[in-house]
C-alpha cells in the first residue's frame, strides 16, 4: 500500500507548492549574493558557499544515493561539471554583481536555456533546433542588446564590459549541462552534484586565496546569514527539491521556473535593494523571456514523451 502510494508521487497541490518554493529561492539568491559582497571578498564568498554545501551534500549523499540509484560519475565528468557549472559560472556571477544590479544580472543570465539549446543542437543527437527555436534565440539576443544599449550604458562603461563578461557564465553552465547530458544520463545526480561542488569549491579557493585578502572579510550577522542561506537553502535544499520533483514531474514543466526567477529577482532588487527598474529593463527582460519560450517550445513537447527521472542537469537559471 505504502509502496503504491510512493510510486503515485506527490499531489498536484504539493507539486505546485514545491515549484513556488523553488521560484522563491532561486529568485532571491541573486539579491542575497550582492548583499553578502558588501562584507566578504568576492571569490572567497563563493568558495565558502560551495564548501558548506559540499559538506552537507557529503553527509546526505549516502542516503540520497540509495534512494535515487544511478551509476557513480567518472572523475572527468565530475571535474568538468565542477569547473564549468560551479567554479567558472558562479565565480563570474559573483564578480559581475560587484558592478551590475542583482536583478539585471539575473535577467542577463536568463539566456542560459537558449545557450543550452544552441549547444545541444551541435553536440547532442536528436536535439536539433528548428526555425522557431532559432527565432527564439535571436529574440532573446535582441533583449540582451536592449539591456546593453540602455541599462548597462546608463551605469557606465565598466558595466558594459562586465555585462559582456557575465555572458560567459551561462555559456559555461550550458557547456557543463550538455557535457552531463551527453556522457552522464545514467549517472547519480546526487553523487555528481556532490563531486561537482567539491571540485567547484576547491577551484574557487585556489583562485581566491592568492588574489584576495582574507582579513578584509567582515563576518557580520547579515554576511553569515547570507552564506548560510545560499549554501543550505539556495544550494542544498533547492537542488534536493528540484531533483525530487524531477522524479514525478516533466522537466519541461519545471523549466517554467526559468520565466519566474528573473521577474522575482528584478522585483526583489527594486523593492529591497533600491535597484532601478525602468521601461527598458522591463522591455529587454520581456524579449529575453519570449526568446526562452520560443527556444524551449519544441523541447516541451518532446519531454512529455520521455521521462527525465534521472537527469542530473538543471534547466533553470538558479544561482
How far CA 104 is from CA of 119, 121, 215, 268, in Å, comes to 24, 28, 30, 11
Q: Which pLDDT does position 179 carry in this prediction?
A: 92
Return the DSSP state at 267.
H
Which grid coordinates are listed for 274? 533600491
**What's the pLDDT band for 15 if we cut at 50, 70, 90?**
confident
Return the DSSP state at 100.
S
Q: Which pLDDT does position 306 carry in this prediction?
A: 39
Q: Which pLDDT does position 122 carry in this prediction?
A: 87
Element (H, E) at 129: none
Q: What is the pLDDT of residues 109-164, one digit of tens each?
A: 999 888 888 898 888 887 787 888 889 889 999 999 999 999 999 999 999 999 99
**What's the pLDDT band for 214 if we cut at 50, 70, 90?**
confident
Q: How many CB atoms lie within 10 A of CB 245?
A: 21
- Average pLDDT of the chain is 85
Q: Which pLDDT does position 6 carry in this prediction?
A: 42
pLDDT over threshold 60, residue 251: no
Return the DSSP state at 71.
B
Mean pLDDT in residue range 257-281: 89
Mean pLDDT in residue range 25-49: 94
Which grid coordinates are listed for 78? 565530475
- The residue whose grid cell reads 503504491 is 4
Helix and strand element counts for the chain (H, E): 17, 0
Give percent of the chain above pLDDT 90. 50
Q: Which pLDDT does position 184 carry in this prediction?
A: 83
Q: Which pLDDT does position 309 carry in this prediction?
A: 39
Mean pLDDT in residue range 240-265: 76
Q: What is the pLDDT of residues 43-71, one digit of tens each?
A: 999 999 999 999 999 999 888 888 878 88
**What's the pLDDT band for 250 if we cut at 50, 70, 90?**
low
Q: Which pLDDT does position 224 carry in this prediction?
A: 92
Q: Which pLDDT does position 130 carry in this prediction?
A: 84
Please answer whether residues 262 and 288 qualify as being in contact, where contact means their C-beta atoms are separated by less than 8 angstroms.
yes
Q: Which pLDDT does position 5 carry in this prediction?
A: 42
Return the DSSP state at 214.
G
Range with top average pLDDT, 44-48, 254-258, 271-275: 44-48
Q: How many Cα atoms occupy the beta-carbon half-sphere of 216 within 13 Å?
A: 14
The residue with greater pLDDT, 78 or 296, is: 78
Mean pLDDT check: name the lowest of 43-52, 87-96, 168-177, 309-318: 309-318
Amino acid at each position: 500500500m505504502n509502496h503504491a502510494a510512493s510510486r503515485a508521487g506527490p499531489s498536484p497541490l504539493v507539486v505546485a507548492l514545491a515549484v513556488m518554493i523553488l521560484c522563491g529561492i532561486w529568485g532571491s539568491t541573486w539579491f542575497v549574493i550582492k548583499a553578502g559582497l558588501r562584507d566578504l571578498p568576492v571569490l572567497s564568498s563563493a568558495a565558502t558557499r560551495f564548501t558548506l554545501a559540499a559538506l552537507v551534500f557529503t553527509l546526505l549523499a549516502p542516503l540520497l544515493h540509495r534512494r535515487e540509484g544511478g551509476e557513480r560519475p567518472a572523475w572527468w565528468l565530475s571535474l568538468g561539471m565542477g569547473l564549468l557549472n560551479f567554479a567558472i559560472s558562479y565565480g563570474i556571477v559573483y564578480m559581475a554583481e560587484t558592478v551590475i544590479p542583482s536583478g539585471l544580472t539575473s535577467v542577463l543570465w536568463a539566456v542560459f536555456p537558449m545557450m543550452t539549446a544552441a549547444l545541444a543542437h551541435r553536440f547532442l543527437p536528436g536535439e536539433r533546433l528548428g526555425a522557431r527555436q532559432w527565432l527564439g534565440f535571436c529574440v532573446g539576443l535582441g533583449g540582451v542588446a536592449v539591456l546593453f544599449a540602455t541599462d548597462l550604458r546608463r551605469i557606465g562603461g565598466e558595466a558594459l564590459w562586465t555585462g559582456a563578461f557575465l555572458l560567459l557564465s551561462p555559456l559555461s553552465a550550458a557547456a557543463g549541462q550538455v557535457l552531463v547530458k551527453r556522457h552522464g544520463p545514467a549517472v547519480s545526480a546526487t553523487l555528481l552534484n556532490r563531486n561537482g561542488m567539491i571540485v567547484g569549491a576547491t577551484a574557487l579557493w585556489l583562485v581566491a586565496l592568492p588574489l584576495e585578502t582574507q582579513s578584509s572579510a567582515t563576518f557580520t550577522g547579515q554576511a553569515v546569514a547570507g552564506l548560510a542561506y545560499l549554501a543550505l537553502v539556495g544550494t542544498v535544499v533547492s537542488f534536493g527539491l528540484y531533483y525530487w520533483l524531477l522524479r514525478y514531474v516533466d522537466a519541461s514543466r519545471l523549466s517554467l521556473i526559468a520565466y519566474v526567477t528573473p521577474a522575482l529577482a528584478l522585483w526583489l532588487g527594486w523593492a529591497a535593494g533600491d535597484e532601478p527598474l525602468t521601461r527598458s529593463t522591463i522591455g529587454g527582460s520581456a524579449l529575453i523571456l519570449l526568446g526562452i519560450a520560443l527556444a524551449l517550445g519544441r523541447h516541451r513537447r518532446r519531454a512529455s514523451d520521455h521521462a527525465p527521472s534521472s537527469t542530473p542537469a538543471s534547466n533553470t537559471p538558479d544561482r
